[in-house]
Amino acid sequence: MDLELTDKTALVTGGSKGIGAAIVHRLLAEGAHVANVNRSTAEGEALQRKYAVQGKECYFIQGDLGESDACRNAVEKTVERFGRIDIVINNAGVNDGVGLEDGPEQFLESLQRNLVHYYAIVHHALPFLKEARGAIVNIGSKVSVTGQGHTSGYAASKGGINGLTREWAVDLADHGIRVNAVLPAETWTPLYDRIIRATDDPAAEKSAIERLIPLGRRFTTCEEIADMAVFLVSARSLHTTGQVIHVDGGYTHLDRKCTS
Ligand code: NAP
């Protein structure tokens, strides 16, 4: 299947680790050029070097997306480097556990970390996306539909991402721009690995979660999220927009009986 991504330019947020890194890898494998905006520097620079050796461009832009100037800067640098933006993949985020007891200031900070930059990146990239008749994928979370407890800021952000996905799909349909969301539930990343290892009984902790995932009793892989995200921005997905797609082995929707 030819995804027709050769020489397209993709701006990916949080592309240095976990799900974002898998998306970057898949886009590059399909012949796209990537700008990776990430807060930490070492991994982003290492990826840029690693892919350069293979003749691929994974242009690293340092920035903390919680700061609004970083979003404008990311778009400007991408356009300076590649002259265009065909694809935006909003991915950076963190389940920061800002709960009801923490108060409005921390809540707003959580929205800044998890939601506002999704809007700001697309806002600044809009003229280029219109020119390219491009595509957007927002990485969300099952928390947007299930709740989790003790994480109001993250849950509100992820709910907002689902809303914005539909809103922008309407806004941008006349420009031929498609907007979809991919929602992970339990996806195995190096960060998840570290969290589980820090528990008293990592093996028991891991298998307790795996038992809740109907398909295969295993975590989703980063590559499985990336495959869906990249398919959605590709030419093999040209009549799909406004969709909120759960890539989660059935975790969010299937009958509880199958995991009880
Ligand atoms: P991860 O392993 O922590 O990777 C996130 C990447 O984004 C890191 O490279 C991180 O940079 C970067 N990042 C985070 N906040 C940033 C900011 N403010 N500015 C710039 N870069 C930032 O996370 P992940 O598990 O792959 O998660 C990716 C997305 O999937 C997130 O939106 C998350 O909410 C969603 N998700 C994941 C799961 C799961 O099970 N893994 C489940 C549901 C939803 P640093 O290098 O500085 O840390």
The tokens of 175 are what? Answer: 């420009």
Atom of ligand 1 nearest to the CA of 94: 34
Mean pLDDT, rounded, for 142-153: 98
Inter-axis angle of helices 42-53 and 18-29, nearest 10: 20
Residues with CB under 6 A from ligand 1: 14, 16-20, 38-40, 43, 64-66, 91-94, 113, 139, 141, 184, 186-187, 189, 191-192
Please indicate, yes or no, whether the overall pTM of this predicted structure exceeds 0.85: yes
Number of helical H runs and strand E runs in the chain? 10, 9
> What is the model's pLDDT at position 233?
98
Q: Does 68 score more than 90 pLDDT?
A: no
Q: pLDDT per residue over 154-202, tens digit each?
A: 999 999 999 999 999 999 999 999 999 999 999 999 999 999 999 999 9
- Which of 51, 118, 154, 251 is flagged as catalytic? 154
Atom of ligand 1 at shortest range from CA of 187: 40
Cβ atoms of residues 68 and 116 within 8 Å: yes
pLDDT tens-digit map of 218-252: 999 999 999 999 999 999 999 999 999 999 999 99
CA-closest residue to ligand 1 atom 29: 91
Residue 83: pLDDT band with limits 50, 70, 90:
very high
pLDDT at 260 over 90: no
Cβ–Cβ under 8 Å, residues 149 and 135 = no
pLDDT in tens, 10-59: 999 999 999 999 999 999 999 999 999 999 999 999 999 999 999 999 99
Q: Is the pLDDT of residue 136 over 90?
A: yes
Question: Stretch 193-215: mean pLDDT, rounded?
Answer: 97
